[in-house]
Amino acid sequence: MGSGSPVRRGSAPQVQDVAPKAAKITHWFIDQFSSLDEIKRKDENNPEIVAHVLRLVGRFSTFEMSERPGLWRTVDGLRRSGEIVFDESLGYPWTRVRFTNGKAVADIAGAEQVRSEQSERATSNPAVGERR
* 13 part of a folded domain: no
**What is the pairing mode between strands 94-99 and 84-87?**
antiparallel
pLDDT of residue 16 exceeding 90, the answer is no
CATH number at residue 79: 1.10.10
Q: Could you read off the pLDDT of 20-59 as tens digits, one per residue?
A: 566 676 765 555 555 687 789 999 999 999 999 999 889 9
* 9 part of a folded domain: no
The pTM of this model reads 0.54
93 and 61 Cβ atoms separated by less than 8 Å: yes
**Residue 31: predicted pLDDT:** 54
60 and 95 Cβ atoms separated by less than 8 Å: yes
User: What's the mean pLDDT in 82-93?
Assistant: 92
* 76 part of a folded domain: yes
Percentage of residues of the chain with pLDDT beyond 90: 36
* 30 part of a folded domain: no
pLDDT of residue 69 exceeding 60, the answer is yes
User: What's the mean pLDDT in 15-19?
Assistant: 54
* 12 part of a folded domain: no
Cα separation, 76 vs 89, whole angstroms: 18
User: What's the mean pLDDT in 75-80?
Assistant: 94
* 112 part of a folded domain: yes
* 89 part of a folded domain: yes
| Helix/strand/coil for 59 | strand
**Residue 64: predicted pLDDT:** 87
* 5 part of a folded domain: no
Domain coverage including residue 56: 41-126
